[in-house]
Structure 1
Amino acid sequence: MLPTLDTSCLHLRPPTLDDWPAYALFMGSDRATYMGGPFDARGAWGLFCHDVAQWALMGHGALMIEDRATGQCLGQVAINHGPLFPEPELGWMLYPDAEGRGIAFEAAQAMRDWAFGTLGLETLVSYIDTENTRSCALAERLGATRDDSAARPDPSDLVYRHPKPAH
């Protein structure tokens, strides 16, 4: 059973096939540049399936970000790991109409807390393209600090290390 997480404004839920069209549109756009895109349909489908498969393989993966009031899907937040990632990674992406409203912060904070608390992760980083200043600012707002000595899947990425909450 995959988890769902609720915040004051958001419902984080497992991806469904209904999420595919908006996901594919995002991944095929210039907005996916910071994630290695844009991707054609085949590449986007592979990433979508990867996000889902991680749940069975790793015990974590992606959750879609849904507005609790409207039910609109606003993007995705995920814990990524496996052979492509040196450490578990907290990642996020928002669809264009969801930016600038604190949604990514609220979703990433909930996923981070779940990863440290429920999953019991000891480490969590975010791999961010050097030119993605908005994601760098969000990582810092979440309390993460740059770790220039950390391993990374892409040597040009920045690594932001999220502190484990003190309980």
Structure 2
Amino acid sequence: MTNPPIPTLTTVRLILRPPVLADFALMQTMLASPRAQYMGGPYDLIGAWRAMCQDIALWQMFGHGALMVDVRETGECVGQVGINHGPLYPEKELGWLLFDGHEGRGYAVESAGAMRDWAFAALGLPSLVSYIDAPNAASIAVAVKLRAVLDPDAPRQDPTDLVYRHWPDHQPN
């Protein structure tokens, strides 16, 4: 089975596009930093490469994966958003990250909302989850702004993770 090409999504301010090799330097810097603590990091060079390769490979295996987040006005890459799955994720997960210095501008909410809506339309999912470390207040705030609801009964790999559930109509069923 061949999956459709990796999409490019647009919002009012952002372009969500397929990753390219030139993005690895930004990803490696972020994944090597303390900012990666909520993602199992920080990662060394090999770990960062594996993470980026996984983000791309998901497209071939599952028909979803990660997209890089560019600001339309400047073309600057400010982060990544994606739908994760595989042995580490009991359910399909909506995840987001911003590179240092790009927080507080609504990019995470805007890009994650676009990716969520694409996933529901393109993949026909009944719901998505976001696995969030309890101390990660910024990601919890993004999930709440996306109208995800805390789901204490959801399966998770890490029992300390909070699980926020996203519904297609943005409201709990």
* TM category, shorter: over 0.9
* Residue in 1 that maps onto 2:83: 79
How many residues align? The count is: 166
TM-score, with structure 2 as normaliser:
0.94
Alpha-carbon offset, residue 42 of structure 1: 0.6
Structure-1 residue corresponding to 2:36 = 32
Q: 1:111 offset after TM fit, Å?
A: 0.3
Q: Match for 2:68 among 64, 70, 82? A: 64
> Is the contact made by 1:116 and 1:165 (CA closer than 8 Å) also made in structure 2?
no
Q: Deviations over 1:71-111 (max 9, x none)?
A: 11000000001222111000000001211000000000000
CA shift for structure 1 position 160: 0.2
For residue 134 of structure 1, the aligned residue among 132, 138, 150 is 138
Provide the residue aligned with 1:119 in structure 2.
123
Which residue identity lines up with residue 134 of structure 1 in the other structure? A
Deviation by residue 1:39-98 (Cα, 9 ceiling, x = unmatched): 000111110000000000010000000011111100000000122211100000000121
Whether 1:148 and 2:152 are equivalent positions in the alignment is yes
Structure 1 stretches of 5 or more lacking a match? none
How far apart are the structure 2 equivalents of 1:139 and 1:163?
12
CA distance in structure 1 between the aligned counterparts of 2:127 and 2:91, rounded to whole angstroms:
7
CA shift at 1:162, angstroms? 0.6
- 4+ runs of 1 displaced by more than 3 Å? none
| Residues 63 and 77 in structure 1, CA contact (< 8 A), matched pair in contact too | yes
Does 2:53 align with 1:49? yes
Say whether the 8 Å CA contact 2:70–2:79 is kept in structure 1.
yes
